[in-house]
Structure 1
């Protein structure tokens, strides 16, 4: 895929009723303009490129423990179980797609999740 932010943008905006706007100076994606589910992190809090996203319970701890070179506990939202994903390492975009979709499912209303799950 191309630039990490463009690839991430493509994944996020493909989901139902997702909007993007800057939050804290970084591209951030929202469900119905309200609930954040993915935030880009371009060297904002450290010298790494990555993103922060909502994650199902236990996923952050599991992935950070298994692959600390690819995943991290982000500041501010890490205590809520959010996952940090580095994009300055070799990236498996199929895995990133699943992570982004899981993040969406954590914050989206049931009607939008049903829309995501229904065959088109």
Structure 2
């Protein structure tokens, strides 16, 4: 299980990432949104693998109708993911957000 503080630490380790509130929740930005706490214990990240992640592990990865128009966004249940996998997801999300 990963905590919000661990998410914060990883996000802020990337060059140029800043933290501010988005929709009243902690969020991290590298040019554009990189990651945001969606709900208690749930993180939003950007990925090119949304369909594959949700298809192979729907208990960890999913999205809501709100996210249908943003095909790069996926929700991650922090209680279901390890630190290494989260680091890989945040690295990808950083690269996507920083490239815009």
Q: 1:72 to 1:22 in 2, by over 3 A?
A: same
Deviates more, 1:74-83 or 1:15-24: 74-83
Instruction: State whether residues 19 and 29 of structure 1, in contact with CA within 8 Å, keep that contact through their aligned partners in structure 2.
Output: yes
Which structure's residues are more often strand, by fraction? 2
State whether structure 2 residue 81 is matched by structure 1 residue 76: no
How many residue pairs were aligned? Answer: 99
The structural deviation recorded for 1:17 is 0.2
Tell whether 2:52 aligns with 1:55. Answer: no
Instruction: Answer yes or no: is 1:104 the counterpart of 2:94.
Output: yes
| Relative contact order, higher structure (CA 8 A, sep 6+) | 2
Q: Deviation of residue 77 (structure 1)? A: 3.1
Tell me how far apart the structure 2 counterparts of residues 86 and 108 of structure 1 sit (CA, whole Å). 24
After TM superposition, the structure 1 stretch with the greater mean CA deviation from structure 2, 11-20 or 101-110, is 101-110
Q: Which of 72, 77, 80 is the equivalent residue of 1:86?
A: 77
Across the aligned residues of Structure 1 and Structure 2, the Cα RMSD in angstroms comes to 1.9
Contact 1:42–1:50 (8 Å) recurs in 2: yes
Equivalent residue number for residue 39 of structure 1: 36
TM-score if structure 2 supplies the norm length? 0.87
* Alpha-carbon shift at residue 31 of structure 1 (Å): 1.0
Structure 2: unaligned runs, 5 residues or longer: none
- Runs of 4 or more consecutive aligned structure 1 residues displaced over 6 Å after TM superposition: none
